[in-house]
Amino acid sequence: MSFAGRPEPSRYQVDSNRLTCLGLWGISIGRNKVGLIEACVGDLGRDLPSAERAHWLSFNEAPSGGLDEDRFRRDILGQWHDGPPNPLRSLATARQRFSTALARVVGQEIYRPWGAADKIAFDGLHMPTSSERQETDNQILTLAKGVIDYLDVKAIRNLPGADPKGTTINCIEAWVKKLDEDPVPLISPLRLLQGLRSTGVARARSKDWQATLVRAGLDTLQPDEQFVKVVGSSRESAEAPLSVTGPACPNRAGCVG
């Protein structure tokens, strides 16, 4: 079936193998290679409230794409199998480590506190269940908010080498350059995410949108595949400061404490 719950992140939480609703109920799920969500009939009868069943049935589709192999190995073959890492969970962890690394440098938090609605949306990020442009656009917009827009520019401007009137990304780039490090691994994914948002996701698309896709090698991919790539590059960007500051930032220019 196509997934029925993800448009409401304030109600539903989903990962690679389970869907829950406000702590009221939960059901084991899988996702196969073509993006269809699978659930066992017995689980639907046991774990899904009766009021939800007709809604779920309306999203039922004929089987295609085979079984979720990771779930088959765990649930049917009884094997110890973790499956591939969750890209969005890895991104959230990398974002926190990014925040900690830069806070060590400037002596204060570098992300502003979450707004309630934006926190719900960011926590509800998911891998698209279709190749429709609108779903991926919404995901990219939320991703850009969480990774870039919530950065506190006043804190970022305290980075050594930063322009006291500079933009967020430019200030981070100036700091990395001051450390004689290569800024590309950190800055390029941020500029890509910002570019996707500003040239098409948040406004009318122009020729700059296509140029952004081409430069990033995303122009030949479907929208859902583009999102997967953008999530991966954003995670890699968030991990880049760790190689600059080090685990404890010992004796490096630009560190505090």
**What is the H or E stretch that residue 184 is in?**
helix 184-196
User: Is 103 within 8 Å of 241 (Cβ atoms)?
Assistant: no
Q: Give the per-residue pLDDT at 190.
A: 94
Alpha-carbon distance of 134 to 140, in angstroms, equals: 10
Identify the bridge partners of residue 18 per DSSP, sorted by sequence position. Answer: 28
Q: Answer yes or no: is pLDDT of 194 > 90.
A: yes
The domain spans of the chain are 12-76, 87-245
Nearest to 170 by CA among 179, 158, 160, 162: 162
When pLDDT is averaged across residues 131-138 and rounded to a whole number, the result is 86
Q: Is 92 helix (H, G, I), strand (E, B) or coil?
A: helix
Q: Average per-residue pLDDT in the chain?
A: 84
Q: Give the per-residue pLDDT at 32.
A: 82
Alpha carbon 12 to its chain's center: 17
Q: Answer yes or no: is pLDDT of 104 > 50.
A: yes
pLDDT winner (highest mean) among 38-47, 161-170, 197-206: 161-170
Q: Give the per-residue pLDDT at 253.
A: 43
Structure tokens at 174: 């100036």
Q: What global pTM score does this model have?
A: 0.73
When pLDDT is averaged across residues 33-44 and rounded to a whole number, the result is 83
Q: Which amino acid is at 9?
A: P
When pLDDT is averaged across residues 109-136 and rounded to a whole number, the result is 87
Q: Give the per-residue pLDDT at 166.
A: 95
Structure tokens at 135: 């779903």
Nearest to 13 by CA among 115, 126, 113: 126
Q: Can you spell out the DSSP letters for 147-159?
A: IIITB-HHHHTTS
Q: Give the per-residue pLDDT at 255.
A: 46
Tens digits of residue pLDDT in 44-74: 889 888 888 888 888 888 888 888 888 888 7
Q: Give the per-residue pLDDT at 109.
A: 95
User: Is 27 within 8 Å of 43 (Cβ atoms)?
Assistant: yes
Q: Is 186 helix (H, G, I), strand (E, B) or coil?
A: helix
Q: Answer yes or no: is pLDDT of 148 > 80.
A: yes
Q: Give the per-residue pLDDT at 14.
A: 72
Please classify residue 20 by burial: count the beta carbons closer than 10 Å to its beta carbon, then call 0-12 exposed, 13-18 middle and 19+ buried. Answer: middle
